[in-house]
Amino acid sequence: MTTPFVITMLAVSATGHHWWLDGVAAIALVVIALRIDGWVRRRLG
């Protein structure tokens, strides 16, 4: 799963596009959302 992601990141950054940073930000937001979701589900029982 991580191999295509790494290849994509290298290809996009090597060609000079800055859209790859949007992907990093999106992943960070998804991780934060999943952690908040898990925390809320544990709190609500």
Q: What is the mean pLDDT of each run of 10 residues along the chain (45 residues)?
A: 75 70 84 94 93
Residue 17: other Cβ atoms inside 10 A: 11
* Distances in whole angstroms, Cα of residue 8 to Cα of each of 17, 24, 25, 33, 39: 12, 12, 15, 24, 32
**For position 1, what pLDDT does the model report?**
54
Structure tokens at 27: 């992943």
Q: How far apart are CA 27 and CA 45, in angstroms?
A: 27
The residue assigned the tokens 């295509």 is 4
**For position 42, what pLDDT does the model report?**
95
